[in-house]
Structure 1
């Protein structure tokens, strides 16, 4: 038998499909043409929408370097040409302005077909004595059988468009696919095209203008970015170097009429940035390796390069808006243009920051902590990247964001970590503002559906869904029932936030157990402990559901529930009471709630020990991370349990630590210590933050120390 060779024979309609289906919208198509002008070293791009003509058309004119006959033949007519990618990889910059090309896939030229079926391209290369003209009817072209049959003529002629010493490219697009353009369409196109350059630091050598002859009124009243930014109440700027050093500045500017509140600023230079722990996420593919670093360093920034961010944040509470001028203008602008955009070398990466795009998940993360976190519709911001150093970030072929990658995940974590710093600072001024205006915080809503869904998926993957389903179903049913009961009793808000915080944490622990494929007996024990939380929360409402238990037994149960986590995080537990070397005594408490308190304290220590002693090459340090638990007698005649670690310790004052939604963890809810304080108050006790010497804690416990102090009333006898 003979072995024959054949080549692909693409149909001519492939070119039409590339333009029609690869580019998402006409606005994005025009955006691509403007980016091509930038790559051609243009200084000015003029976009004209000729919508009043009998046959509407679009004209794009730039003063760039233009193309020669050979450029048209060997590059422009070659789909997938890689000359821009080669230039980018070799750091070959444009001759006039030293720009790295934005394009790299050789497909942007087909964007014109998204706009119309007819195209006439006229171009003259700098220092050439002729100009070239290409005319294409995409409809006729697509009727040819094969791509090789789709012939295009290039005309060389004496310059008629680019006369004298002028040069550049002119693209006329006719037979528009969208014939009727509403006022809203025109305004959206204007915002789209003009947004290609950052309003926070655009290239000074590149400008885009859009005109609509005969329909100038359509563009009246579009506010400039600067007009809106000057009215922002909060401002936040940060820079993150390629080495991972963070500098930031926060500003609160009181612009409210009749409100006497001092402005406030805060800043820091060359500190380390804390980022979200991806291992905390319940959603996502658990089979994908996770970068679990909590501190940003030079290796974390590899493929991303330095980041600069600038955010202008508003407040949409009605009490605040009532004291600001032109509130309707601000609201409309935020609805249309709110969000955080991404720019490389000052030029926008579409579609980050577009309406409907929540690339950082701001709205989702705000659902459960609405008063503490920002959403897209109150912020106008920008992230600036360096084109040459952000090599790990590659734009999708359809030009709608970066392709999913580890570099993109790290970029998101770094930006969210910086936003968390802003939110911590903003909270203090937000509270001052709310107290003055006596405004009501919106009630948060909570749902365990997402983590429960992921739990079921993982249980099914490991073949234990049948065994765990009754418990998972009970968790879901009882939470919804408990939420309804609290809402009917008028006890929503913080009380419900605490419940959700504990259930979400418990589900996460069970989820991690499934991922580590623990023995089914251990998994059932963890699941049953989680369901007992509801009994404990019911007791919290009744304030009388208590049972006697010794401290040694209480701590032993808490340790056993966290055995996997102590091992995973390489944390040593030093607890004399478990070895009969410290005071043991009996308490009368709600066991499930008290276990929740201890688990929260362990949670905090695990996290901050990872910050203090980060992994090296993915490996946790041995015998450096330590948690200490000891018992003591208080000065008031009571007894207590002290928890300490050798982490970085507390930054905030004790009064702030037990307030709800106060946290230094990126993406943390800030309810752990609030919950602990609430349970202790219900247990005739208190939570305190003593020095190590006050609670007989070893000097090695140099980090955070939290003491649970029980008065004589409400505890059993000690032994």
Structure 2
């Protein structure tokens, strides 16, 4: 019998360095590393995932000696006087989810490749308390932090616990000479919670790698926010999950293409695979036929779609095509749109097909695809909605599992195979087409991601998914090819004599010239007939009399048409004027942007100057100087408020949404503007009628601009209008559980403008006093969040409507959480 102890017996062990090798190969970049931690927040049933990036964070050898010497082991043993605090940076990812107890920390979080979310073989994942299907199940997310920094710390607690537990370890301790169990884990003293109901977890990454890159504002505010946005589904917010990035005192939200931008697509398709069928729904814009607008494409488009007779004939031809009928193509009630709605029957099993092997049903999934022609006018419209053509080209068609991107080959759908040369615009081209496929762990357990999240495991279910996705794509391309042939055939059949004008103004000019020539011909014909009618032949006269009457009616009708053309001509000129005023407004905005930055600097210099005068006057004690100092301080304070109010309104921060307690926000705004308002000899009455408080999710800068527009409007009419005998000027602002009611005791809205007050450039102010854009901009900002503003029906003593109502309830935070937005 051997006397060897168990420790002496041959056995396998694992070097701690293997974990480092695994972590380095696990993810490709910083964004994916952060996303793995964001997924854990989602699985914890949190509403908000907050990412705090602090590259300026300093580790102090006195306050954090263990972390300090873990980062700088060569400084152990040196005297305290020689130990200097070092800037190392940190990232904190925080949630208010379920948190972890001691057992979960020890047996799941500290156990590599262990996950309580991983289901038993053959079983579905268990949903979270709020019904979410967990998206992280490999237990490897924390290894991804190696890409970001040197130390990872966990701080967590659950509801009802009085303390938060905290521990950390350093990736630098995972060396080849240690077994995995020998890597030290540092337990920090528990910290008391202010509220026992407080819960959630924080992951802190300390000692950032590539620190200089994190210190660049543009890297975080532009590159990181943009790249993280691509990794998250645009519809994740509808599940009540929001990602906020905090950096340099600013908060950035994950952003996606707005509905306004998506509505500019020439085609939009919605596919659903369920019960053996691919359901196809979509809309096709007439702009599909415009293409890039190059060469003769623009003239051809105008020949068909800017001519009512030709347009009707083409649509009739198109809808009568037998091949088109199978797609159930119809003219939509919205002008310029077609809709399609049909099903492609596949059957209970996926047909065997070359390249797909024994493909299996992957389970239900859906997709939304948007195609842009990226013509000059399309690019201009996209730019106006905050989207560049480069963003379209770089987005592609992506696959999201439960709201999070699965990275895959850029052209996995095979769009490049369909692309033709030249300026063809009928195929779905990879540079012009964006969209997403939505799969889930619950419905598609057979679609298995590789550990590096870079692709899917090549199994029968994945091949089935590829087959169905590409089949749906092929059906749409087949329809587009039919449309192409019908369009080209119709153009060929059109008379070659049919000419085109290059612009609406040219068309009007040509039509007016044509009517003028016809008028001359008609007059000459009438005169000739009247002359013949003067002859003695009675019968000829009677016959000619009927012709003269008909010609006279034609002449009258021609005069009416001339009047209509004149009307259109005036409106074309008016449209040109509107465009000019829009450019002027944009120029003012650019100037304001520049001035605001300059004023910040000048304000600081003025404050320094005032502080210097104060210091000198302390020894002099001149009361006149003190009085003027107080005046300067008051003026500077008001100037600073105005500049601070202007700055967040500038481009770049308008679309960032945040939680806002409406009555507090409005109250604070009115308080900040009260000094300026009082100088105008106007009073403000603020009434809070909320019962439980209305919390909305809205862009603070946009809400600020809406309030400022209403305030400026009230102040103008209260201080300028002199004709009516008015009481003391008063603005009344009421905040309720549904929104805001804003009124004043001024003259009210001119009856001429009651129905057009929210249109652009509508104003009752004299020229030079206003542009008529304030209320229009306010209505646009509100509509963007499904909120609204309207003029109340109640009238004042002058018989005018005077109260503006703002319904903010669609932006209520609860509504957003429930997926109503």
* TM-score between both structures, scaled by the size of structure 1: 0.51
- Equivalent-residue separation in structure 1 for 2:488 and 2:376 (angstroms): 11
Q: How many residues align?
A: 413
* 1:157 is aligned to 2:190: yes
Partner of 1:267: 341
- Equivalent-residue separation in structure 2 for 1:253 and 1:274 (angstroms): 34
* 1:330 is aligned to 2:416: no
Partner of 2:415: 362
* 1:31 is aligned to 2:31: no
Residue aligned with 1:139, SS: helix
- Equivalent-residue separation in structure 1 for 2:122 and 2:46 (angstroms): 22
* 1:10 is aligned to 2:14: yes
Residues 439-473 of structure 1 show CA distances to partners (whole Å, capped at 9, x for unaligned) of: xxxxxxxxxxxxxxxxxxxxxxxxxxxxxxxxxxx
Residue aligned with 1:85, SS: coil
- Equivalent-residue separation in structure 2 for 1:5 and 1:305 (angstroms): 50
- Equivalent-residue separation in structure 2 for 1:26 and 1:395 (angstroms): 19
Q: Does the CA-based 8 Å contact 1:41-1:97 persist in structure 2?
A: yes
Q: Does the CA-based 8 Å contact 2:276-2:349 persist in structure 1?
A: no
- Equivalent-residue separation in structure 1 for 2:100 and 2:444 (angstroms): 28
Partner of 2:273: 240
Q: Does the CA-based 8 Å contact 2:151-2:170 persist in structure 1?
A: yes
- Equivalent-residue separation in structure 2 for 1:316 and 1:401 (angstroms): 30
Partner of 1:210: 245
The alpha-carbon deviation at position 145 of structure 1 amounts to: 2.2
Q: CA RMSD in A?
A: 3.7
TM alignment of 1:51-66, pairs within 5 A: 51-53=55-57, 54-66=87-99
Q: CA separation of 1:125/1:328 partners in 2, compared to 1, >3 Å: closer, same or farther? A: closer
Residue aligned with 1:33, SS: helix
Partner of 2:157: 124
TM alignment of 1:164-313, pairs within 5 A: 164-181=196-213, 182=216, 183-184=218-219, 186-200=221-235, 203-214=238-249, 224-241=257-274, 243-254=275-286, 260=306, 262-269=336-343, 271-272=345-346, 280=354, 290-291=357-358, 300-301=360-361, 304-313=362-371
Partner of 1:696: none
* 1:343 is aligned to 2:378: no
Partner of 2:373: 315
Residues 93-150 of structure 1 show CA distances to partners (whole Å, capped at 9, x for unaligned) of: 3442122221222211211111100222211123333221112221134375221211
- Equivalent-residue separation in structure 2 for 1:331 and 1:47 (angstroms): 29
Residues 15-67 of structure 1 show CA distances to partners (whole Å, capped at 9, x for unaligned) of: 22222221211111001000111111222101122245543321111111111
Residues 248-302 of structure 1 show CA distances to partners (whole Å, capped at 9, x for unaligned) of: 1121124679764642112114744899987555xxxxxxx8238xxxxxxx42x
- Equivalent-residue separation in structure 2 for 1:319 and 1:436 (angstroms): 24
Q: Does the CA-based 8 Å contact 1:351-1:401 persist in structure 2?
A: yes
The alpha-carbon deviation at position 424 of structure 1 amounts to: 2.2
The alpha-carbon deviation at position 404 of structure 1 amounts to: 1.5
Residue aligned with 2:437, SS: strand
The alpha-carbon deviation at position 74 of structure 1 amounts to: 1.0
- Equivalent-residue separation in structure 2 for 1:163 and 1:31 (angstroms): 29
- Equivalent-residue separation in structure 2 for 1:249 and 1:51 (angstroms): 48
Indicate which of 446, 464, 468 corresponds to 1:414: 468
Residue aligned with 2:15, SS: coil
Residue aligned with 1:413, SS: helix
TM alignment of 1:466-485, pairs within 5 A: none
Residue aligned with 1:198, SS: coil
* 1:19 is aligned to 2:23: yes
Q: CA separation of 1:144/1:123 partners in 2, compared to 1, >3 Å: closer, same or farther? A: farther
Residues 666-708 of structure 1 show CA distances to partners (whole Å, capped at 9, x for unaligned) of: xxxxxxxxxxxxxxxxxxxxxxxxxxxxxxxxxxxxxxxxxxx
Q: Does the CA-based 8 Å contact 2:264-2:381 persist in structure 1?
A: no
Residues 618-676 of structure 1 show CA distances to partners (whole Å, capped at 9, x for unaligned) of: xxxxxxxxxxxxxxxxxxxxxxxxxxxxxxxxxxxxxxxxxxxxxxxxxxxxxxxxxxx
- Equivalent-residue separation in structure 1 for 2:487 and 2:55 (angstroms): 48
- Equivalent-residue separation in structure 1 for 2:204 and 2:485 (angstroms): 55
- Equivalent-residue separation in structure 2 for 1:437 and 1:190 (angstroms): 47
- Equivalent-residue separation in structure 2 for 1:277 and 1:437 (angstroms): 40
Partner of 2:447: 393
TM alignment of 1:654-665, pairs within 5 A: none
Q: CA separation of 1:153/1:200 partners in 2, compared to 1, >3 Å: closer, same or farther? A: closer
- Equivalent-residue separation in structure 2 for 1:215 and 1:86 (angstroms): 40
Q: CA separation of 1:220/1:35 partners in 2, compared to 1, >3 Å: closer, same or farther? A: closer
Q: CA separation of 1:156/1:251 partners in 2, compared to 1, >3 Å: closer, same or farther? A: same
- From the CA coordinates, give the structure whose radius of gyration is larger: 2
Residues 411-463 of structure 1 show CA distances to partners (whole Å, capped at 9, x for unaligned) of: 0110111111222233345567889999xxxxxxxxxxxxxxxxxxxxxxxxx
Q: CA separation of 1:129/1:87 partners in 2, compared to 1, >3 Å: closer, same or farther? A: farther
When structure 1 is superposed on structure 2, of 115-124 and 245-254 the one drifting more is: 245-254
Q: Does the CA-based 8 Å contact 1:31-1:192 persist in structure 2?
A: no
Higher-helix-fraction structure = 2
